[in-house]
Amino acid sequence: MKQNVFRFLADLRFAISILLIIASSSIIGTVIEQDQSIEIYKLNYPLTNRIFGFLSWDIILKFGFDHVYKTWWFITFILLFGISLLTCTILQQFPSLRIARRCQFFRTIDQFRLLNISTNLRHLPITQLLFRVKEKQYSIFQQKNIIYCYKGLIGRIAPIIVHFSMILILSGAVFGALNGFKAQEIIPKTETFHVQNILSNGQLTRIPKVSMRINDFWINYTKTTTVTQFYSDVSILNVDGNEIERKTIFVNSPITYHDIDYYQTDWNLIGLRVKNENSSILQYPLISIFNNRNKVWLTWIPIDQQLQNGLTILLDNLEGYCSIYNETGRFIGNLELNESFNSNISITLMDIISSTGLQIKIDPGIPLIYTGFLFLMISTLISYITYSQIWIIQNEKEIFIGGNTTRAAFDFEIEFFKLIK
């Protein structure tokens, strides 16, 4: 019974079935947004308008389609596929390799009929034939008048390396899903923060207790005021608040500390600091709106003590100035940093408070996955090495010779005819 179970697990049809299930589940995880809030799924997959007549937010949450790669059933299928590959390697690939290393002598002439190519020779001495075979890098084994030759045995190792690489990739995917996490933080400039806003995490994830400080944030613009790149100067702090690492990060250039990557992903403007005529520094929040796909921030500053009248301040960049509009919406001028504007009261723009958006993530399975793909590429190169076999029987004055190959049959035929020419 145990043998039947192991043979079933090692069966190619079983492995392909599991692989198709994993591929279908991965398609679901690609099409359906992962690790989003319930409100987003209720909005995009309502009960009243089910996609394909059945898919709605309750089905997505019930079967875990909102976090496919962390569900128990997806991990179970991956483990089954890995067990199938491992069983196939032990029961089929290793025995096949051992058989390929044996000397498989032909004892009778009738066995040559089973080969793809064979012939008999009268004009070529056996010593001259073996010399030509040796020149073609074949290993030669002889028992009296029967001879067996092979080359390219390393090509038989390629399937084993393929299975090993796929097991590494699957192990890395499972390990990353169980131990990784992803967080998103919006932090004002000069502020210190800890990882709190967790978007997704595995069942075995331990959130690191690391603090960071945003020392500075700035944006580079083109002459047409379009953003070319935005930067954050960040510091990693220890438990005592002392800096242990510092780097200026930008998009696609993160800072890494203890295998945790901190990526620059977004930015925002959150407030203005102004000084009034009494030399008091006040802070006003900025509200963001979209205008023709462009992001615009605005706030309102009162200009009398009754808070009846005021100025509307508008910004659409971080170049150090803002636009001022009166109560009727008429543009009345620009105000730069450390510049004063005189109306019913005098105000001076002291600072534009910005915040940076960081994505914090760790995926401990990445090294395993990359190693698996490295071995997969190596196995692809090894698979191009052809495993070829030649059998020879000398019978009185006649020589019977034939051969087989695993691939590149046409090249093998050319090589064979050159041997017997």
SS (H, E, C) the chain: CHHHHHHHHHCHHHHHHHHHHHHHHHHHHHHCCCCCCHHHHHHHCCCCCCECCCECHHHHHHHCHHHHHHCHHHHHHHHHHHHHHHHHHHHHHHHHHHHHHCCCCCCCHHHHHHCCEEEEECCCCHHHHHHHHHHCCCEEEEECCEEEEEECHHHHHHHHHHHHHHHHHHHHHHHHHHHCEEEEEEEECCCEEECCCEEEECCCCCCCCCEEEEEEEEEEECCCCCEEEEEEEEEEECCCCCEEEEEEEECCECEEECCEEEEEEEEEEEEEEEECCCCCEEEEECEEEEECCEEEEEEEEECCCCCCCEEEEEECCCCCEEEEECCCCCEEEEEECCCEEECCCEEEEEEEEEEEEEEEEECCCHHHHHHHHHHHHHHHHHHCCCCEEEEEEEECCEEEEEEEECCCHHHHHHHHHHHHC
Kindly give the parts of the chain with pLDDT less than 70. Answer: 1, 291-293, 344
Instruction: Supply angle C-alpha 368, 374, 379, rounded to 5.
Output: 125
The pLDDT of residue 165 is 92
What are the tokens at 393?
């029987």
CATH class for the region spanning 103-152+386-420: alpha beta
| Of 1, 196, 173, 148, the residue nearest 74 (C-alpha) | 173
The pLDDT of residue 290 is 74
> By CB neighbour count within 10 A (0-12 exposed, 13-18 middle, 19+ buried), where does 168 fall?
buried
The pLDDT of residue 178 is 86
81 CB neighbour count, 10 Å cutoff = 21
The pLDDT of residue 17 is 92
The pLDDT of residue 291 is 66
Contacts for 407-410: CB closer than 8 Å, 24+ residues apart: 409/116
The pLDDT of residue 292 is 64
Alpha-carbon dihedral sign for residues 263, 264, 269, 271: positive
The distance of Cα 314 from the centroid of its chain, to the nearest Å, equals: 41
The pLDDT of residue 213 is 92
The pLDDT of residue 397 is 77
> By CB neighbour count within 10 A (0-12 exposed, 13-18 middle, 19+ buried), where does 138 fall?
buried
The pLDDT of residue 328 is 82
What are the tokens at 158?
């390629």
